[in-house]
Amino acid sequence: MFVVTGGAGFIGSNIVKTLNDRGHKDIVVVDNLENPDKFLNLVDCEIADYVDKREFIKDITNDSLGYDVAAIFHEGACSDTMEKNGQYMMSNNYDYSKTLLHYCQNNNASFLYASSASVYGGGSVFKEEREHESPLNVYGYSKFLFDQYVRQAKLDKTPQVVGFRYFNVYGVREQHKGRMASVAFHFYNQYKQNGKIKLFEGTDGYDNGCQLRDFISVEDVMKVNMYFLDNPDVSGIYNVGTGRSQPFNDMAVATVNTLRKHNNETPLDLGALVSKGVIEYIDFPEALQGKYQSFTQADINLLVKAGYTDSFYTVEQGVERYINTLLAQDATKQ
């Protein structure tokens, strides 16, 4: 049996669907559907059971699951970087993760979990080494601290444990996330509704819209997850990004031009889109001052050394695929 925590969420539901595509239906989804809109992510998926997170923790703690677990994909977490309740964050992200890790260690199951690039904070080197890790908020700290806990487990002598430091993931099944959805999702909806896209003005020495992020398609994230599932002898903590950084402007231009292509309009470059008012820059939020990563770029050398050699979509390639999927989904609703 495969267990996917946060299985109704963005990355979790993509894992469920990817496992389905590989012929697996023996999947238990664990989540909290207090946000009921997440169920939509599972409508086209086949699962064996759904279990509320609180009941699942009880079953894990009492060793009463009632089935054998081959692997737990642990995607369940509070990912709101603006969350101010540190006790909630640490309980939900750190303590919960420790409980699942111990279960997998005691039951010879693979444990593949979501870490985050937020552990690097405002640094400029994104390499899986302690000296480069300095989170800016309690969310990042909760992920960092669990990574530290895992590092003490001597992974070469235990069942598989893999931590994925996801960079800026975008793609299908994220519509429930609200303001925490990717900029690609927000740009798509802004342009469809208003014919324009809003980006932050420059900050930290970057020009308008020129802050740099390592944007990675959820399709590529799935390939990485499945690679490690297929190689249970490989453990470690790995960056999951493309190894490239591109500005938010690129994401905006790719979104607009995919939509323009859909409408049989010619593509436009950044300068033309700004001059026409299609791309507009707004004040940088005061609430994010000192808590914002203006630059991320995954060092993927460890990932490659672990044997992963597939290429990654560029922003232009990945966004076009994503926007076309959103267009197709919207068309079915009409």
Do 123 and 264 sit in the same domain of this protein?
no
Do 34 and 92 sit in the same domain of this protein?
yes
Q: What is the pLDDT along the chain (334 residues), one digit of tens a residue?
A: 999 999 999 999 999 999 999 999 999 999 999 888 899 999 999 999 999 999 999 999 998 999 999 999 999 876 555 555 567 677 778 899 999 999 999 999 999 999 999 999 888 999 999 999 999 888 889 999 999 999 987 766 789 999 999 999 999 999 999 988 999 999 999 999 999 999 999 988 999 999 999 999 999 999 999 999 999 999 999 999 999 999 999 999 999 999 999 999 999 999 999 999 999 999 998 877 776 778 999 999 999 999 999 999 999 999 999 999 999 999 887 6
Q: Tell me what pLDDT residue 289 has.
A: 76
CATH number of the domain encompassing residue 58: 3.40.50.720
Question: Coil, strand, or helix at residue 90?
Answer: helix
Residue 317 lies in a domain: no
Residue 190 lies in a domain: yes
| Residue 3: both structure tokens together | 């267990």
Q: Tell me what pLDDT residue 290 has.
A: 72
Do 118 and 191 sit in the same domain of this protein?
no
CATH number of the domain encompassing residue 259: 3.90.25
Q: How many CB atoms lie within 10 A of CB 287?
A: 9
Q: Structural domain of residue 124, as residue ranges?
A: 2-170+216-243+298-312
In angstroms, what CA-CA distances link 165 with 60, 148, 236, 239? 25, 13, 11, 5
Residue type, 21: D
Do 69 and 121 sit in the same domain of this protein?
yes
Residue 284 lies in a domain: yes
Rounded CA separation 183/168 (Å): 9
Do 194 and 90 sit in the same domain of this protein?
no
- Evaluate whether 53 touches 5 at the Cβ level (below 8 Å): yes
- Evaluate whether 10 touches 185 at the Cβ level (below 8 Å): no
Residue 53 lies in a domain: yes
Do 27 and 130 sit in the same domain of this protein?
yes
- Evaluate whether 68 touches 104 at the Cβ level (below 8 Å): no
Residue 195 lies in a domain: yes
In angstroms, what CA-CA distances link 130 with 69, 103, 127, 146, 165? 32, 26, 9, 13, 14
* Closest of 183, 258, 172, 253 to residue 214, by C-alpha: 183
Residue 73 lies in a domain: yes
Do 182 and 111 sit in the same domain of this protein?
no
Do 117 and 193 sit in the same domain of this protein?
no
**For 143-157, how does the pLDDT look when each residue is reduced to its tens digit (9 = 90+)?**
999 999 999 877 667
Q: Which residues are catalytic?
A: 139, 177
Do 26 and 93 sit in the same domain of this protein?
yes
Rounded CA separation 27/277 (Å): 47
Tell me which DSSP letter residue 295 carries. Answer: B
Neighbouring residues of 248: CB distance < 8 A, sequence distance ≥ 6:
183, 199, 200, 209, 210, 211, 213
Cα 297 from chain centroid (whole Å): 15
* Closest of 204, 34, 222, 69 to residue 136, by C-alpha: 204
Do 45 and 149 sit in the same domain of this protein?
yes
Burial group, residue 60, by CB count within 10 angstroms (0-12, 13-18, 19+): buried
| Residue 56: both structure tokens together | 């699942």
Helix (H) or strand (E) holding 222: helix 218-229
Residue 98 lies in a domain: yes
- Evaluate whether 169 touches 11 at the Cβ level (below 8 Å): yes
Q: Tell me what pLDDT residue 92 has.
A: 74
Question: Coil, strand, or helix at residue 45?
Answer: coil
Do 229 and 95 sit in the same domain of this protein?
yes
**For 7-23, how does the pLDDT look when each residue is reduced to its tens digit (9 = 90+)?**
999 999 999 999 999 99
In angstroms, what CA-CA distances link 148 with 22, 50, 145? 33, 31, 5
Residue 333 lies in a domain: no
Number of domains in the chain: 2
Do 115 and 232 sit in the same domain of this protein?
yes
Provide the CB-side half-sphere exposure for 328 (13 A, CA). 7
